[in-house]
Structure 1
Amino acid sequence: MNRFTCLLLSLFITFSALAQEKLPKEIYLFSYFKGNGEDGLHLAYSTDGYAWKSLKGDSSFLRPVLSKDKLMRDPCIIRGVDGLFHLVWTVSWTEKGIGHVSSKDLIHWSEQQFIPVMGKEEGARNSWAPEITVDPKTKEYLIYWATTIPGRFNETASKADNGYNHRIYYVTTKDFKQFSDTRVLYDPGFNSIDATIVKDGKQFVMFLKDETREPPQKNLKIAFAGKLAGPYSAASAPITGNYWAEGPTTLKIGNQWIVYFDKYTQHKYGAITSTDLKNWTDISDKITLPAGIRHGSVFKVTAKEFAKLK
């Protein structure tokens, strides 16, 4: 057998093994942005929740066109009750609305839609880090985000951090065409942003950032509710350590919770894990993510859906 034949045989064996390799039934995807969000949506994948690799050479899957700033920060993707993937994001530092699109495959997207969630609030300064959670009973989408309205919640007003004093607001919708009035979802008694809500058994768990600057908190906490729209409990003690953290997103594998977050002053990502939502272990040194990854969300796709992305 000559060298060329041996090479062909080796290649055949390698490709046959790859063809027979079976991916898990579900793949984890991480939606995120880079820089200031100018180039749009990035995606990474993982099969174990620890090692994450970028897709498409870490280039954008969707470029933003909304608002004067044309940003796509804090991208949150969920699978809707209609089978579509729904994406919401922060379109600007100062707009009174958020962006929304949908897709069947995460490759081809609908026309980008601006939702003026704070349009009726004349003094609203922003609409940051929107997320979506589906109510399993009503099949409605709860869209929620953080906004500062000057003159509200004066008990925690401060001149620090440019005077921002956020609370978590929400609207509901069944079709992304008609929306409820905007209401306060959660007032934990402190400046709060970056909420994300997941269902756990009969309860809903909200992870959020305590944004208090004086004295500094800048950490993640948890609250619980029996219904998606609340009322939510008082926030827990901090679950993150002696560093500033923001942008939590969570994944549950078996009985293990993993919360990923942006250690933004250190310019890197961190993670903590728990089995009871009370006792947390830092596993930041055990995860790997694409360089420059910023605030996003984790969701699941099937092996077939992933193959199209790959």
Structure 2
Amino acid sequence: MSLSLRHARLSALLLALCLLFTGQALTAPQRAAAADPGYLMVHFTGEGSTNQQMYLSHSTDGLHWNDLNGGGMVLRSTVGTRGVRDPAFVRSPDGSKYWIIATDLCIGCGQDWAGSINNGSRNLVVWESTDLVTWSQPRLLNVAGAIPDGRNAWAPEAIWNPATNDYVLYWATNVPLNGATKHRIYYARTSDFRTITTPQPYIVRPGSQEIIDTQIVEMPSGVGNYRYVRASGDGQITLEGSNSILGTWTNLGNLSGIGLTGAQVEGPMWMKFNGTNKWALYVDQYASGRGYLPVVTTNPSDPASYQIPASGSYNMGGTKKRHGWILNLTSAEESRVLARWPNTAANRLQSYNFQDRYVRHTNFDVRIDPGVSPAEDAQFRLRPGLAGTGTVSFESVNMPGYFLRHSNYDFQLVYNDGTAQFAADATFRKVAGLADSTWSSFQSYNFPDRYIRHYAYELRLDPITTTTGRSDATFRVTN
């Protein structure tokens, strides 16, 4: 072989090796970026008017959870009992619409258990969205009013039924019937969560046995013998299988074999791990007050396959997770959710010239006051501006979705309606304080000659031309 030929072959070999390693370097980030998106849990956290609201948590692996929004609520019910429990996500088959449906119930804030069992709300609370981050105002959906002597409506769930091309909405209602007053599961059909068909009995246990919590998961072909498996809290965590949502269901057993009975846990919540035929059935440890525990299985229809993971192999995050629902996210959904609810700190705005006073909302009006109670009325999250980069918007901590907004140069706390006008009115540029550059002032986005200031303790949007005005328009962002 000639020397020149050897050099040519050696050069070709080196070039091939370079291309190989270059290709690996270029494709490795693409493979990492193609990793499955994570999971979104909606839940409540306990009793009282603050904990019985909507909270979100995110997980990348389905077992380790991070609280979104700094562990604060993301939606607050302003209808019915003004409290919500047992939420469920519903995603339309084409992914163009989402709903959250929840129990209208607020224990310890105007209701007790006896009253809510025997004369509770017959309504569900419903939120609606087209993007999973901008939600409608809550509304009430009466589901138990048409049930003779139906006394409440608890723990709603819904699943798309391809057999009828609509949703099967199901929930528990306490009803005296056939000599027994107990909770039974009823169902109705709906296409929009605004109107429903006449409720019908769905799951009734014999004798005096109640059933309150139930959730259905659809199985992929080849796993178990049933297309659907449901888990219910009925004295046990009972598993049943069926090939039709409204068809006949077969009792498969329960979780007592691993020491989990209905006396210990409730609120079963399904989750399928991405990319594998493996599921977690989360159960709420209500009896011991510890929130959710994952139980894992590769065949939901086989009670013997369920296992409790070692305690160090999962982490539920900083807040207690109570009866909720888990959504497997798409990449686009995950990006939107994480951008909307980062763990932004809760802050207060302290007045420069009345330093014992802070910006607060009261009956949706906005002013500066001392000694604000509850303290959350004076707490806001400084979000990226709704209307432009390099700006801020002020979202209420205890009224999430509500922002400080000017209208006719007066300020109110208003729910974000998603319009460009709202975004502009609720957006400000944070600049050096007009009275002290170590503090801050906030310039209007759409009226840049005007600033947030207080006048007679009320918040206004004014042009600033005097020394007093500069002091009135200066604030400190503090925790």
Fold shared, TM-score > 0.5 on shorter chain: yes
Q: Hey, what does 2:198 align to over in structure 1?
A: 181
1:139 corresponds in structure 2 to 165
Q: Which residue identity does 1:36 align to in structure 2?
A: E
**1:292 equivalent in alignment to 2:320:** yes
CA–CA separation in structure 2 for the residues paired with 1:23 and 1:86: 28
Please say if residues 129 and 136 of structure 2, whose CA atoms lie closer than 8 Å, have aligned partners that are also in contact: yes
CA distance in 2: counterparts of 1:265 and 1:23, whole angstroms:
41
Question: Deviation string for 1:198-239 (max 9, x for gaps)?
Answer: 1114621111101xxxxxx3x311111221122222362335
2-structure distance, mates of 1:36, 1:241: 26
- 1:257 and 1:273 in contact (8 A); partners too: yes
Match of 1:31 in 2: 42
For residues 235 and 65 of structure 1, do their structure 2 counterparts lie closer, same or farther at Cα, with a shift above 3 Å needed?
Answer: farther
Q: Which of 299, 304, 308 in structure 2 is aligned with 1:276?
A: 299
- Percent identity among equivalent residues? 27
Alignment CA distance shift 1:300-1:281 (3 Å): same
Q: Partner of 1:236: helix, strand, or coil?
A: strand
Counterpart secondary structure, 1:234: strand
Task: Please tell me whether the aligned partners of residues 24 and 47 of structure 1 are also in contact (alpha carbons under 8 angstroms).
Answer: no
> Which one-letter code corresponds to 2:240 in the other structure?
A
Cα distance in 2, alignment partners of residues 263 and 175 from structure 1: 33
Kindly indicate whether the alpha-carbon contact (under 8 Å) linking 2:86 and 2:102 is maintained by their aligned counterparts in 1: yes
Query: Is residue 228 of structure 2 the alignment partner of residue 204 of structure 1?
Result: yes
Instruction: State the match for 2:73 in structure 1.
Output: 60
1:92-126 deviation line (CA, Å, top 9, x unaligned)? 24111211121123321123221111112342221
Out of 120, 131, 138, the position equivalent to 1:105 is: 131
More RCO (CA 8 Å, sep 6+): 1
Q: CA deviation at 1:134?
A: 0.8
Q: Write out per-residue CA displacement over residues 244-267 of structure 1, whole angstroms, 9 at most, x where no aligned residue.
A: 100111112212121001101112
Q: Matches of 1:142 and 1:31 in 2, distance apart?
A: 20
State the distance in 2 between where 1:192 and 1:89 align.
17
Count of paired positions: 277
Looking at structure 2, the residues matched to 89 and 284 of structure 1 have their Cα atoms a distance apart, in angstroms, of 31
Q: Give the distance between the partners of 2:171 and 2:330, measured in 1 at CA.
A: 28
Unpaired segments ≥5 residues, structure 1: 1-17, 158-163, 211-216
Q: Deviations over 1:141-171 (max 9, x none)?
A: 1111111102x253xx4xxxxxx62111111
What corresponds to 2:283 in structure 1? Answer: 261
CA contact (8 A) 2:184 2:201 kept: yes
Partner of 2:100: 87
Q: Which residue of 2 aligns with 1:3?
A: none
With over 3 angstroms needed to count, the CA separation of the structure-2 counterparts of 1:85 and 1:24, relative to structure 1, is: farther
Distance 2:35 2:68 in 1: 17
Deviations 1:60-99 (A, max 9, x none): 11110121x2111011012113521111000124111211
Instruction: Measure the CA separation in 2 of the matches of 1:61 and 1:106.
Output: 12
2:248 to 222, 231, 236: 231
2 CA distance for matches of 1:182 and 1:231? 18
| Contact 1:270–1:284, Cα closer than 8 Å, also in 2 | no
* Displacement after TM superposition at 1:241 (Å): 1.7
Q: 2:83 aligns with which of 49, 71, 84?
A: 71
1:194 maps onto 2:222 in alignment: no
Computing the radius of gyration over CA atoms, which structure comes out larger, 1 or 2?
2
Q: Distance in 2 between matches of 1:273 and 1:153?
A: 38
Are 2:229 and 2:241, in contact at CA under 8 Å, matched by a contact in 1? Answer: yes
Alpha-carbon spacing, 1:37–1:260, altered in 2? closer, same or farther (3 Å): farther
For 2:48 and 2:327, how far apart are their aligned partners in 1?
20
- Say whether the 8 Å CA contact 1:81–1:139 is kept in structure 2: no
TM-score if structure 2 supplies the norm length?
0.54
8 Å contact from structure 1 (residues 145, 170) kept in 2:
yes
Per the alignment, in what secondary structure is the counterpart of residue 192 of structure 1? Answer: coil
1:23–1:61 Cα change, 3 Å? farther
Which stretches in structure 2 are left out of the alignment for 5+ residues? 1-28, 106-115, 339-479
The question of whether the paired residues in 2 share the 8 Å contact of 1:198 and 1:205 is answered with yes
Superposition TM-score, scaled by structure 1 size: 0.82
Q: Name the CA distance, whole Å, in 2 between partners of 1:104 and 1:51.
A: 27
The aligned counterpart of 1:309 is 337
**Cα pair distance change 1:122/1:66, threshold 3 Å:** farther
Counterpart amino acid of residue 193 in structure 1: I
Shift of 1:182: 0.1
Q: Secondary structure at the match of 2:33?
A: coil
Q: 1:241 — aligned with what?
A: 259
2:272 to 252, 259, 262: 252
Q: Which has the higher helix share?
A: 2
